[in-house]
């Protein structure tokens, strides 16, 4: 797969952090990289041009969402996903495994596949690993994902073990039925918060020689130290020359801790979702623009930030837009947060290449105040319970 | 007022249509012109750059809304309205007279001024013609409006007469207290749907020699033929060398009929408001993108339209975004509708300059199917009753 590969450029001398590059049919993607989430073929509020202005080189879309709306065949008729959403850079489609388990109701899982009801209209659907690959080949993303079974973070060991084994079988079936050679199919490591299962899963999938490896089933409500421990366990057993993709992680502090453990790719709705609630990233932590302290601030949110929002508007204007529920607020906040994360990824990569990552990490973590963990878990639970989310 | 004047360039040989130019401290504005409504210092969903791309040269903001949120003094501290909303082209601020009467509660009107309660938090406020001018001088728009009393379309003759006389007194007070010489202060003709009162109002205000004249109190639920009849009555008595501004009118068919009667300026939330409901302008009438007929349409909404939305996306993609309640939908629809209206104004102006306006008008009206009048009145009533609207 010459046309869709990973090049490792530099490894940090005193951590597992790596700098590399994904070569895709729709351009090169520098790693470590953060993928904005565009489940429904749109990064909420933004145009493709704005994403390019921010410097985004790859986005994520979701097979589950697109299968339900507008339907895979509609996107096929419109010339594929890139053309449909007018995005000519790289796309990764998630298989929708996680969404079937978190959003749909009345599901029945068997070795064959999953029967579920749509979270939108209750209609009944049957998917298999083979169908999910077929859908993703029709959509035409640059990177596609195997169908996985994603247990809840508090499921029993037996249940997690069973889901892991099924995920392994499904990964093999996905691999076997893949027809297109221009798409990189990534496997997904499962195993919950059991170090033993994570090791088994990583080893099993590593020997199948996928072009990339995702770490799934994390950041679902388990304590942060568990997440990081599982990442460490898993990465240690994944091949050095393949990209490692931690699914669903997107806070600045988690990204930097995971890069430190050798992760190359991230996706999360967090930066865009919290933006729409007025929570904006600064180098000191997340600040809420709705705080009245901003009502008369002539400076931008982050003085010196070169994003469109900070270059153009005062914090007071953004505060006013949020205060009035003006739709422009959500755009401007989304632009800022994605720019912040993209800038963070750029700084991380430069630090790795210049062998200064450890001090960059320490400096960042000493000044950035993460959101309180209990508050964060509560927010996450609240969000996971809102069963209509496309983020 | 050399720096803020109106230049009449061409009059249609067989109608009252005129082409001209407003000269403002923030650039020249070709007329006839449509002003997008940005009551709260934002044209809903769009950035200033997008408005410029569309070709917008002047926007409207609202003193009532900005007085309540964020407050006039906040905008003053931020360097004025242009800087606050990052818009360096022309701005017209409405006085808020209409909004006080349509949005606020518990109002008491006297010759002195108006006491009202905020539609947002119920707080009590007292405004006078002098205060409204002071607010608008602080905001710093290029064109400002007198405070007027705006009766409902079904109020009694006596009530409409009283409101008209008070509007005249207030116009004189506004004129007298104006301090800044770089802002053009427009009078507002009232008189409801009485031809006699409209004539009185136009004559009274004409002799006060304002730099521009608005026609207020129309398009509030009265039948369309009444609106047009009142426009005709009023325009006939307004000075030829001053711009005429029909407030609150914004459907393509009403604009073209009013240009035909000699109107130069329009504002209305209609194009942006209906866009957010999925109603998109075409040369055949308003079409709703949510109609399932669009679900697999690979063509843009209006083939050949050079707006960003039509240049970039299929109707099927826009249909999908509306179907999923994606925020990008409202942006793309707003861009299309404002581009359509701006393009219409451009075509109207070219036709007037080329002395082909009558045939352009006839061609347009023969192919454009207006929204059914009863449906339109129902929508208007529904909207007028929703007392939180900033459009």
User: Please, what is the average pLDDT of chain B?
Assistant: 95
Burial class of A196 by CB neighbour count within 10 A (0 to 12, 13 to 18, 19+): exposed
Closest CA to B141 of B92, B180, B95: B92
DSSP secondary structure letter of residue A37: B
Tell me which of A279 and A381 has the higher pLDDT. Answer: A279
Report the C-alpha gap between A210 and A39 in whole angstroms: 24
Degrees (nearest 5) of the Cα angle A50, A52, A53? Answer: 65
Pull the structure tokens for residue B146. 């007198």
The beta-carbon neighbor of A45 closest among B79, B295, B328 is B328
pLDDT in tens, B238-266: 999 999 999 999 999 999 999 999 999 99
Closest CA to B37 of B25, B29, B26, B45: B45
Give exposure, B105-137, as e/b (b: 16+ Cβ within 10 Å). Answer: eeeeeeeebbbbebbeeeeebebbbbbbbebbb
Chain A CB contacts of B69 below 8 Å? 320, 323-324
Q: What are the tens digits of pLDDT across the range B332-368?
A: 999 999 999 999 999 999 999 999 999 999 999 999 9
Three-state secondary structure along A151-188? CCCCCCHHHHHHHHHHHHHHHHHHHHHCCCCCCEEEEE
| Candidates B40, B313, B320; nearest CB to A69 | B320
pLDDT score, position A9: 97
pLDDT tens digits, one per residue of B168-200: 999 999 999 999 999 999 999 999 999 999 999
Lowest mean per-residue pLDDT among A37-46, A241-250, B1-10, B272-281: B1-10
CB B255 within 8 A of CB B249: yes
pLDDT at residue B53 is higher than 80: yes
In eight-state DSSP terms, residue B292 is G
Contact call for A327 and B327, based on CB within 8 A:
yes
**Stretch among A259-273, B211-225, B374-388 having the lowest mean pLDDT:** B374-388
SS3 content of chain A, % helix, strand, coil (to 5): 45, 20, 35
Which of the residues A142, A254, A264, A267 is marked catalytic?
Answer: A267
Q: Which residues pair with B37 in a beta bridge?
A: B60
Q: What is the DSSP string of A262-298?
A: T--EEEESHHHHHHHTTEEEETTEEEETTSGGGTT--
CB-based contact, B78 to chain A, within 8 Å = yes
What are the CA-CA distances from residue A63 to residues A95, A134, A246, A320, B194 (Å)? 5, 11, 18, 37, 61
Q: Is the pLDDT of residue A387 over 70?
A: no
**Cross-chain residue pair B45–A331, CB shorter than 8 Å:** yes
The answer to whether B9 contacts chain A (CB < 8 Å) is no
Residue A48 and residue B312: Cβ atoms within 8 Å? yes
What distance in Å separates the CA atoms of residue A324 and residue A369, rounded to the nearest whole number?
Answer: 29
**What radius of gyration do chain A's Cα atoms show?**
20
What would the two tokens of residue B129 be?
């013609």
- pLDDT single digits (tens) B67-89: 999 999 999 999 999 999 999 99
Closest-CA residue to A59 (of A90, A83, A82, A88): A90
Question: Does B145 score more than 90 pLDDT?
Answer: yes
Active site residue B148: no
Q: How many whole angstroms separate alpha carbon A48 and alpha carbon B323?
A: 20
- Partner-chain residue, chosen from A47, A296, A328, that has the shortest CB–CB distance to B42: A328
* DSSP states along B165-205: HHHHHHHHHHHHH---SSSEEEEEE--TT-HHHHHHHHHHH
Share of chain A above pLDDT 70, in %: 98
Cβ-defined contact of B324 to A40 (cutoff 8 Å): yes
B178 touches chain A (CB under 8 A): no
Write down the residue that tokens 């073929």 correspond to. Answer: A41
Residues from chain A that touch B99, judged by Cβ atoms under 8 A, are none
Average pLDDT over residues B201-213: 98
Q: In chain B, what residues touch A298 (CB-CB under 8 Å)?
A: 77-79
Q: Is B236 near chain A, with CB under 8 Å?
A: no
Q: What is the mean pLDDT of residues B34-44?
A: 98
Structure confidence by residue, pLDDT tens digits, A356-374: 999 999 999 999 999 887 7
ipTM of the complex: 0.97
CA A279/CA A333 separation, integer angstroms: 8
Helix axes B357-367, B327-353, angle to 10 degrees: 140
Partner B contacted by A221 (CB < 8 A) = no
Token representation of residue B367: 């192919």
Catalytic-role residue among B94, B142, B254, B260: B94
| Among the partner residues B44, B46, B78, nearest to A316 by beta-carbon distance | B78
Residue of A nearest to B84 (CA): A317
The CA distance from B32 to A19, in Å, is: 57
What is the nearest CA distance from A71 to chain B, expressed in angstroms? Answer: 10
Question: Cβ B74–A298 below 8 Å, yes or no?
Answer: no
Q: Does B46 touch chain A (CB under 8 A)?
A: yes
For an interface test with B, the pick among A51, A315, A317 (most B C-beta atoms closer than 10 Å) comes out as A317
Taking an 8 Å cut-off on Cβ atoms, the answer to whether B78 and A40 are in contact is: no
Q: Do you find a cis peptide bond into B70, omega within 30 degrees of 0?
A: yes
Scanning A348-377 for CB atoms below 8 A from B yields: none
CB-based contact B41 A79, cutoff 8 Å = no
Residue A201, helix vs strand vs coil:
helix
The answer to whether A313 contacts chain B (CB < 8 Å) is yes
Residue B376 pLDDT grade (very low, low, confident, very high; cuts 50, 70, 90): confident
Q: Where residue A1 falls among pLDDT bands split at 50, 70, 90?
A: very low
Q: What is the pLDDT of residues A140-192, one digit of tens each?
A: 999 999 999 999 889 999 999 999 999 999 999 999 999 999 999 999 999 99
Give the pLDDT score at A389. Answer: 62
Give the pLDDT confidence score for residue B389 in this predicted structure: 63
Residue B379 above 90 pLDDT? no
Cβ contact B352:B18 at 8 Å: yes
Question: B77: which chain A residues are within 8 Å (Cβ-Cβ)?
Answer: 296, 298, 316
Q: Is the pLDDT of residue A198 over 50?
A: yes
- Which of the following is catalytic: A53, A94, A142, A254? A94
Task: List chain B residues with CB under 8 Å of A312.
Answer: 47-48, 86
What pLDDT score does B375 carry?
78
Chain A residues touching residue B86 (CB < 8 angstroms): 312-313, 317
CB pairs below 8 Å between A and B: how many?
106
Q: How far is CA A52 from CA A342, B115, B328, in A?
A: 11, 50, 16
R_g over Cα of chain B: 20
* Residue range B105-130: mean pLDDT, rounded: 92
- Region B226-233: mean pLDDT is 96
pLDDT single digits (tens) A317-330? 999 999 999 999 99
Q: Which residue of B has its CA nearest to A72?
A: B296
* Nearest chain A CA: its distance from B78 CA (Å): 6
Is-catalytic flag, B154?
A: no
Q: Which of B155, B267, B325, B372 is catalytic?
A: B267
Residue A121 neighbours by CB under 8 Å, 6+ apart = none
pLDDT of residue B83: 98
Which of A257, A250, A201, A248 has its CA nearest to residue A228? A257
Q: How far is the C-alpha of A156 from the C-alpha of A151, rounded, in Å?
A: 9
All residues of chain B having their beta carbon less than 8 Å from the beta carbon of residue A78 are 296, 298, 314, 316-317
Provide the shortest C-alpha distance from residue B327 to chain A (in Å).
5
Quickly state the pLDDT bin for B304 (edges 50, 70, 90).
Answer: very high
The answer to whether B109 contacts chain A (CB < 8 Å) is: no
Smallest Cα distance from B7 to chain A, Å? 33
Planar angle of CA A313, A316, A318, nearest 5 degrees: 60
Kindly tell me if the per-residue pLDDT of B387 is higher than 70.
no
Q: Among B41, B86, B320, select the one facing A70 at the smallest CB separation.
A: B320
The arrangement of strands across the sheet holding B143-145 comes to: B33-36, B265-268, B244-247, B212-215, B184-189, B143-145, B90-94, B58-62
Closest-CA residue of B relative to A292 is: B70
Which are the contacts of A122, defined by CB distance < 8 A and separation ≥ 6?
Answer: A105
| Model pLDDT, residue B105 | 78
- B224 or A382: which leads in pLDDT: B224
> pLDDT of A71-109, one tens digit each?
999 999 999 999 999 999 999 999 999 998 888 776 799
State the Cα–Cα distance between residues B169 and B167, nearest whole angstrom: 6
């Amino acid at each position: 797969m010459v046309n869709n590969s990973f090049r490792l450029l530099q490894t940090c001398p005193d951590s597992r952090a790596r700098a590399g590059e994904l070569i895709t049919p729709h351009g090169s993607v520098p790693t470590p990289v953060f993928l904005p989430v565009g489940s429904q073929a749109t990064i909420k509020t933004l145009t493709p041009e704005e994403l390019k202005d921010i410097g985004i080189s790859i986005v994520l879309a979701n097979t589950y969402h697109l299968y339900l709306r507008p339907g895979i065949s509609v996107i096929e008729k419109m010339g594929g996903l890139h053309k449909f959403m007018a995005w000519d850079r790289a796309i990764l489609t998630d298989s929708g495994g996680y969404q079937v388990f978190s959003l749909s109701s009345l599901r029945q899982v068997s070795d064959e596949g999953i029967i579920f009801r749509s979270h939108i209209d209750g209609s009944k659907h049957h998917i298999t690993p083979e169908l999910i690959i077929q859908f993703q080949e029709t959509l035409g993303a640059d990177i596609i994902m195997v169908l996985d079974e994603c247990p809840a973070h508090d499921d029993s060991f037996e249940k997690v073990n069973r889901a892991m084994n099924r995920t392994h079988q499904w990964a093999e079936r996905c691999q076997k039925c893949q027809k297109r050679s221009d798409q990189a199919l990534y496997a997904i490591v499962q195993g919950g918060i059991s170090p033993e299962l994570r090791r088994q899963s990583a080893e099993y999938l590593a020997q199948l020689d996928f072009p990339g490896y995702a770490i799934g089933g994390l950041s679902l409500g388990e304590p942060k130290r568990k997440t990081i421990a599982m990442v460490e366990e898993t990465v240690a057993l994944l091949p050095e020359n393949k990209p490692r993709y931690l699914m669903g992680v997107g806070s600045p502090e988690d990204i930097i801790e995971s890069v430190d453990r050798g992760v190359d790719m991230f996706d999360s709705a967090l930066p865009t979702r919290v933006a729409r609630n007025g929570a904006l990233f600064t180098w000191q932590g997340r600040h809420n623009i709705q705080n009245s302290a901003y009502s008369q601030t002539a400076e931008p949110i982050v003085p010196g930030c070169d994003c469109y929002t900070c270059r153009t508007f005062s914090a007071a204007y953004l505060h006013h837009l949020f205060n009035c529920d003006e739709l422009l607020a959500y755009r401007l906040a989304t632009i800022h947060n994605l720019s912040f994360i993209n800038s963070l990824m750029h700084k991380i990569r430069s630090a790795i290449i210049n062998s200064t990552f450890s001090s960059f990490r320490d400096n960042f973590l000493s000044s950035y105040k993460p959101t309180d963990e209990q508050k964060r878990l509560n927010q996450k639970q609240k969000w996971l319970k809102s069963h209509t989310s496309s983020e």
